[in-house]
Every structure is written in C-alpha cells, then in structure tokens.
Structure 1
Amino acid sequence: MKHTIIHVTIQVIAAFIMIYPSMAEDCIPCHREKTPAAVRQWEASAHFKAGVGCEKCHGKDHDKIIKGEARVDMKVCGPCHKKALAEHNASRHGMALHSGWGCTRNMPLRNQSECRFCHEDGGGIPQGGVQCARFLKQSSEMGAIGCNYCHSVESSCASCHTNHNTSLVIVRDPNSCAKCHMGPDHPQWEMWQTSLHGTLYATAGIATGPTCQTCHMPKGTHNVSIGITMNSGGVPYPAQKAEPARKEMLQICNQCHAPEFGRKELARGDAVRTQSLTILKEAEKIIWDLSDRSLLDPMPDQRPDHPLSGKKLVTDAQMLYEDTSHIERIFFKMKKYDYARTIKGAYHQNPAYTHWYGNAELKMDLIDIKAEASRLRERGGISPELKIPADPAAMADRELRVLSNRVKRGEITEAVYATEKAKILESLKQK
C-alpha cells in the first residue's frame, strides 16, 4: 500500500511538472508577486489543467508583451477553439470591431497604434471594409473606451470570457452582455431585465426564466445572430434571409411556448417595426427636402466635413450627433435611439420600452421635426403650402432642382417627375 501511494504521488508530481509549463519557471515567480490575481485565475482555469502556459498565448518575447504588441486575440485562441471561432465569425460579434471603427490615416492627430485594429503588421490592406463616422470624430481616448471597448469583441475572446478565467459561470451570466448591450441606442439588457423573462430569471432561476444566452446563444453557440431578421440598424432582411432566421428563432421560442404563441409575438414585433419605419422615413424625407431647398441651418457645406462624406448630407447609419443642424440632431435621436427602442422593446416583450420609451418618443420626434421644418421654410420665404412667392423664376428653378433630387433618390418616379415639372413651369407662365 505504501509503495502504491509513493508511486501515485510520483506520477502526480511528474504529471504536474509536465502540465505546469516551462514558462512557469520564467513567469510565475515574478508574476505571483506583481500580478498575483492573474496567476491565481490561470491556475484555476481549464488552460492550466490542459497544460496551456503563458507562452502558448502570450509568446516568449517579453519586450513585445511589455509594449502591448503581443495581443492575445482570436488568432491566438482560434487554433484550439475552431468551432467557437467559426460560429463567432458568422455572427454580428464577428464584425463588431469594424462596424465601430474607421481609418484614421487622414486625421492630423491620429494615434498610429490604432492601425493594428484593421491592418496586419506591416500590411496596407484592411481586414474589413466597414467604417464609422462617429468614431472618426472622437479623440483617441474616447474612441478607445467609448467605442472600441465594446466593438473589440470581434477580435478579443476576453471581451466576454475575461483574460485568464475560463469559468463558464462568467459568460453565462446576463451581466456579461450588459456592459455593451445597454444605453439609449440598444438597451437590450434593461429590456430583458424588466420584462417577464427577466423577472422569472431573477425569482425562479435559469430553469424558468430565459436569459440573453438562452435565446441568442442556444446550446452554447457563439453565433449570437441566430434568429435575427433585420440588420443592426433595424432594416428588415430580404425574405430569402429573413424566413430561415425566423424559423430558427421560433425553434428557440417553442422550447417554452406553444408554436402559435411564438409566431404571433414575433409577427406583432414585425408589424411594430414596419409601422415605426414608416414614421422614420417620413421624417427623413422632410430633412432631405429642406436640404434640397438649402434650408438646413447650417447646410452641409457650411460645417466641418463629414469624416466619410465631406460636405454631403448624411442620414444613414453614418450620420453624426455633432457638427450638424438642430433638425438633424432630432432625427439622430429619433433613428438611433427611439426607433431602436421601439422595435427592440417589441421583440423583447417589454411594453414600457416599446411604447413610452420608444413609440411615444418616436411620434413626438416627428412633431418636433415638422415644427422645425415649418420654421426653416418660413425663414427661407416658403409658405407651408410651398407656393411660389416673390421671385417666381428663382423659386421655380429651386423647385425643379428639388424634383430632380427626389427622382435621383428614388422617392418619385420619372412619370411623377414629369407631371410635377409641368405644373411648376405652367405656374411660372401665369406669374
């Protein structure tokens, strides 16, 4: 018996020496003193048990590590976690960095270390083609913590898993999602927390109350976009993409609900989205009409250049909340905050976010935009009926330009353009 115990002990020690990486001889004595928490977390992790030491993830070049040049990103994790990486890359998390980034090479005060987010070391070809005008307007410090602290989820597993822990308890907690999925533009965590789903989770636990992970990471998948039928801006996907996604989400809903219940709930969300998008588009047309008539205050050519579009009006996903006009600022709130809260509140079964934080604000935004538009038109010498006042020739020329711009944007057909053009020219003859 004694010999057996000694033999087992020797095996355990030998195994420990084998799995406790050689890097421990160089790193652990120092880091146990300087970063003891990191060492403790690693020693309690699955990586430690599997013999994955410091150098496996951080490399052996200590100078690069000190300079922050030896990043532990998806490329480091991917070879061991291939399935998770493939699922992640197929989801919106897989494009999060580039949706929040933008090339800074033409900015006078750019931080050159930012290049590594989009380019390979020594390479000039960007890894992604998406840019963000709002990021480009920020200081380097604000861009780092205010934008890319969340958007770096594309390239950093640690965004969710933390640096040295491998406990699934951490990433299965809805709070791990909250640090990014909250706030005025996408308060999914608040919506969930104050919905019946969130209440059930808080009172009865995961067996009864579904979490973010239950619905958006079913069976532990890293593809967080399963079942989503619209893009991140709330624009519906075409049917060929939306229909398979809807089937996926219904399969998730049906784990707790009757099939017809889930179908009706999601269809109601679709209807709210359609209705809300109609309101949003009405406001957007008003702003473009004002721009066509040179009535925005200030006009795009009278303000600092838009980082991506220069002196052009921008009302799509690249619109700004700074260096813009008051009516555009209202539209930014309407589109980025209130439209998003309305539709996401509906899909998360939260009545207060859908109605009062969303729909009510959306409709009041339209009132504000119409009122501001009336003020700008009156100041520009145009009556609410858009009748041609004092200088008929100049006004007719402006109205023709407005029509031309509308047909170019696809707002009206060539036939409508021809009819309206004829009316303007006929009115000019009568002056």
Structure 2
Amino acid sequence: MKTIKIFVKLFLPALALLLISNVGYSESKALMLKPFKNLSEQSQECAACHKKEHPSLYNQWGRSKHFGANVGCYECHAAEKTDPDAIQHEGHTIAVIVSPKDCANCHKAEVDEFTKSHHAKGGEIIGSLDNMLAEVVQGALTLNGESPAAVNGCWQCHGSEVKVLENGDLDPTTWPNTGIGRINPDGSRGACTACHQRHEFSMVQARRPEACGKCHLGPDHPQKEIYEESKHGINFYANVDRMNLDSSKWVVGEDYDEAPTCATCHMSATDTLPITHDVGDRISWTLRPAISEKIDAKALKQGKKVKSWEDRRKDMEAVCQACHSSSMVESFYMQFDSLVELYNNKFAKPGKLMMDTLKAQGLMTDIAFDEKIEWTWFYLWHHEGRRARHGAAMMAPDYVQWHGLYEVAERFYMELIPEYNEYIEKAEHNGKTKEAETLKKVLAGILESPEHQWFSGKEPAEVKAARKKAQAEFQKRYANESK
C-alpha cells in the first residue's frame, strides 16, 4: 500500500505534465481547461475569464513551465495600490507590465545578471547620434509629441521609458513596448519578454537565433545574417532536430554538439561555466563604436573595477573549446584581433582624426547630419565598419570582405577623402589659410603611412614590382586554365 501511495503522489503528477507537453494541440487544450486545484484563487478567477476572452494567451500559458509550477496570471501581474502603473481590474490591483522587478521575485539571480548588462542600458538612447536621426532627421509629424520613427523603430528594440497617463493608462506613445532596455514605471530596466516571448516563455524559442534576430540584423549590425552565413549557422539549420533545444540544462558538448546558437556563446552553460543573463560577460572587444576598444577600456578610464577583457575572453574560449581544440581557438582570435586592428588603424582612427580636425578648425556646423561628409563618415563606421568587425567575430567571410572592408575602403578613398579636400579648397577660397594648412598636414600624415601609400602613389618600387609580377602570373595561370 505504501508503494502505491508513493507512486500516486510522485509519479502521476510528473506523468500528467509529460502528457501535457507531448499530446496534440487539441488534447492539451482540453486538459488545460480542467479546474486548477493548486492555482491561487485569484489566478483561477483570471484563467476562467481569459480562457474565453483570450484563448491564445491562455493556451500559451498552459504550455509553459509557469503553468506546471502553478504560477498564474495574478502571481505575475499583482501590484500594490501605490505602484505608479497599478490599475483596478475585476476587483484586483494589477499592473499590465510585468517588469524585471516582478520577475525577480522568483528569478533574482537572472535579473541581477541582466541588470548589470549592456542590454539593460539599451533604453538610454535619448540624445545619441542614432536617436538624433529618428527624432529629428527622420521625424516630423509626431505621435502625441513623439517621433513615430523612434516609437515604431528605435524604441521597439532599445526600449522606451514607459509613461503612465493621469488616468492610469499606459501612454500609447511608449506602450506596447518590449525593447530590451525598457525603462519601466517601477524604475526597473529591461523587458524579460524581449527574449522570452510571453506567455509561454519557451526555452526552445529563446535558444534559437531568431530570438535575437528581431534587433540584431540589418545594415549596421547584421549578426543574424552573419550567423546564417557562418559554418555555425549552416550546421544549426541542417541539424536543428539534433540540437536538443528543450533540454533542461542544455550544456554544449553534453546535450548537443552540432552547432552553437547566439545563446550558446553569450549566455548558456558549459561544463565549466554557469548560465549568465549578462550577454556581454564573454565579449572581449566592443565592436559598436567608430573605433573598437577592449570591452573594459571605458570603465577603466573612469576608475571602475570591472571584469577584465582577458577574463571575458577566457570564458568565451571555454565555450569554443567544448567543440574545438585550444590551438584552433587561439588561432581564430589572432585572426579576429588582426582584422579589428586593421580596421581601427587604417580607416577608423584616420577617419575620426579628419572629422575631429574639421570641427576643431570651425569648418563644420554644430548641427548633426546637415553636411554630406557626416553621412559619409557615419556609413563608414556605423554600417560598413561594423559589418566587417562582426563578420570577423562570427566567421562570415563575405561580411568581412564585400559587405565590410571593401565598402569601408571605397567609402574612405572615394568619398571621405575627396569631401575632406573640398573643405580644404573652401577654406583657401575664403581666406582661411591657417585652417587649410592644418587640414592638409593631417591628410598628408595619413596618406604617407605605409598602408595608404598605394593611394598616394608613394609605394616603394619593389613593392609595386612584386604586385605587378603576381598579377601577371595570375593572368597567365587563369588564361591557361580557361583553355
């Protein structure tokens, strides 16, 4: 009898959850519509209404781990009357927004990790160069005082400051919004639903590269497209059925070995590393600004003590070594570092020097994006330069070459330098001889460096001769092969 009781107490609940996760949609729906014995009275009341009014949300919740753990609507949406976004709904005090502060009631470690991440600061874009484009250059007609370009574009990835109207409603210019760095009415930063789409909060969905693709794609940061071109992406899509994406622990090298996803490298566990919700914790370079720096450089300049770029790289190397030898990983990083340094030293630092010199000499206005050279420079580092660097970081050669450094070089030599020369000519024409000479000196210093001598025609004769010889040999070989 004791054995039977133990079987009923321990095995049957697990069997029920197993059945729910494996039966067809219509069968699982039927199971979920049965009364809840262990759910709070408040959530039972919510569920009874929402299964009729919002059956899709109800069924998504019914497939979630929250459902299996008796976490219902009220456990997540309950609010205090003093909360800035609290509303009265069907006799209960709730908040529409479930913020990281709310999630921390059960997931404190994950929220603490996220809060210190760069993602949590994503909403702090007001006043940035990118935001200037959406607010002013692209923006004109407003949505209740806000630029529709920013509301529908920037803020949906970066996050908005969600405001509450006097009547208690959420300001429609700032809500709905699941931007990663959303600034919530309760003061917390972030939106867990940016990655864990409500109301199912599926691990499988969050582990797939598409979860990151909402924001990390496009001309300036095409990580999703880069991933899909890489060997990692190719292998993931070819073998997705063997990725074991619904594993509770999902340790690379143990639960799967076909390919990594974004989550694998930046968040998930290895046999030596725990899960982290600080997505920058394993990144050693920052590839976002015009000139790349090691990830800790800015903080160290400010006197802050942070995790060093060397330690971050060691952690990322630990992820790589779940599938690759240490020598291969070290060689990859040598190649990657060399590409970043090439971009920095040949194009980014000289380009920034030219732009800074123009401004320092008073030859440009204080208005952003009102002069062509500003757009040229922005394209060079913000679009093409990022593509080259991210392509190298994620092993997508076409993004390094044709979508990256080729376009950087064309922009630098064929647009940035000619436009810079126009400022020299204009300064001379307007009698600003001193300013013109300063600009000339800066440009001459750039073009006299070895990496730019091909353009100035000052390459050593032996270098030119060697290249011409190689070109002639190639043409001969190609002609023979085509016969």
TM-score over 0.5 (shorter chain): yes
CA-to-aligned-CA distance 1:359-401 (integer Å, 9 cap, x gap)? 111111111100111123223326xxxxxxx95xx634x479x
CA-to-aligned-CA distance 1:264-305 (integer Å, 9 cap, x gap)? 111211111111012112112222223344433xx22xx4xx
Q: Which residues of 2 match residues 405-424 of structure 1 at below 5 A?
A: none
Q: How many residues align?
A: 339
Identity rate, percent: 27
Select which of 203, 225, 230 maps to 1:190: 225
Q: Which residues of 2 match residues 157-306 of structure 1 at below 5 A?
A: 157-205=192-240, 206=243, 207-219=257-269, 220-231=275-286, 232-233=288-289, 234-237=292-295, 241-278=308-345, 279-296=347-364, 299-300=365-366, 303=367
Select which of 46, 54, 66 maps to 2:65: 46
Distance change >3 Å, CA 192–CA 25, structure 1 → 2: closer
Q: Aligned partners of 2:373 and 2:394: how far apart in 1?
A: 30
Report SS of the residue matched to 1:224.
coil
Contact between 2:195 and 2:206, CA under 8 Å: does it hold in 1?
Answer: yes
Note the aligned Cα RMSD (angstroms).
3.4
Question: Are positions 1:56 and 2:56 aligned together?
Answer: no
Distance change >3 Å, CA 374–CA 346, structure 1 → 2: same
Distance change >3 Å, CA 36–CA 281, structure 1 → 2: same
Q: Aligned partners of 1:286 and 1:68: how far apart in 2?
A: 55
Code of the residue aligned with 2:395 in structure 1: it is Q
Report SS of the residue matched to 1:72.
coil
Distance change >3 Å, CA 52–CA 218, structure 1 → 2: closer
Question: Are positions 1:350 and 2:402 aligned together?
Answer: no
Which residue number corresponds to residue 145 of structure 1? 152
Q: Aligned partners of 1:395 and 1:360: how far apart in 2?
A: 35
Which residue number corresponds to residue 360 of structure 1? 406
Distance change >3 Å, CA 185–CA 64, structure 1 → 2: farther
Report SS of the residue matched to 2:294.
coil
Q: Which residues of 2 match residues 2-17 of structure 1 at below 5 A?
A: 17=36
Q: 1:31 offset after TM fit, Å?
A: 2.0
Code of the residue aligned with 2:200 in structure 1: it is N
Moved more, 326-335 or 226-235: 226-235
Contact between 1:228 and 1:242, CA under 8 Å: does it hold in 2?
Answer: yes
Unpaired runs of 5+ residues, structure 1, are 104-129, 304-319, 383-389, 412-431
Q: Aligned partners of 2:310 and 2:335: how far apart in 1?
A: 15
Distance change >3 Å, CA 140–CA 64, structure 1 → 2: farther
Code of the residue aligned with 2:278 in structure 1: it is N
Q: 1:262 offset after TM fit, Å?
A: 0.6
Contact between 2:354 and 2:420, CA under 8 Å: does it hold in 1?
Answer: yes
Code of the residue aligned with 2:279 in structure 1: it is V
Select which of 102, 120, 123 maps to 1:94: 120
Which residue number corresponds to residue 329 of structure 1? 375
Q: 1:68 offset after TM fit, Å?
A: 10
CA-to-aligned-CA distance 1:328-354 (integer Å, 9 cap, x gap)? 101011111111111111011111001
Contact between 1:216 and 1:225, CA under 8 Å: does it hold in 2?
Answer: yes
Distance change >3 Å, CA 250–CA 360, structure 1 → 2: same
Which residue number corresponds to residue 338 of structure 1? 384
Code of the residue aligned with 1:343 in structure 2: it is R
Q: Aligned partners of 1:160 and 1:359: how far apart in 2?
A: 31
Unpaired runs of 5+ residues, structure 2, are 14-30, 140-145, 159-178, 182-189, 244-256, 270-274, 298-306, 447-483
Report SS of the residue matched to 1:144.
helix
Q: Aligned partners of 2:354 and 2:41: how far apart in 1?
A: 67
Between 1 and 2, higher relative CO (CA 8 Å, sep ≥ 6) is seen in 1
Output the TM-score relative to the length of structure 2.
0.63
Distance change >3 Å, CA 24–CA 236, structure 1 → 2: closer
Code of the residue aligned with 2:216 in structure 1: it is H
Contact between 1:102 and 1:135, CA under 8 Å: does it hold in 2?
Answer: no
Distance change >3 Å, CA 57–CA 365, structure 1 → 2: same
Which residue number corresponds to residue 468 of structure 2? none
Q: 1:158 offset after TM fit, Å?
A: 0.7
Q: 1:33 offset after TM fit, Å?
A: 2.4
Q: Aligned partners of 2:235 and 2:427: how far apart in 1?
A: 56
| Structure with the largest fraction of helix | 1
Q: Aligned partners of 1:65 and 1:261: how far apart in 2?
A: 58
Contact between 1:295 and 1:377, CA under 8 Å: does it hold in 2?
Answer: no
CA-to-aligned-CA distance 1:21-71 (integer Å, 9 cap, x gap)? 312453234322221111111122221222222122112678467999631
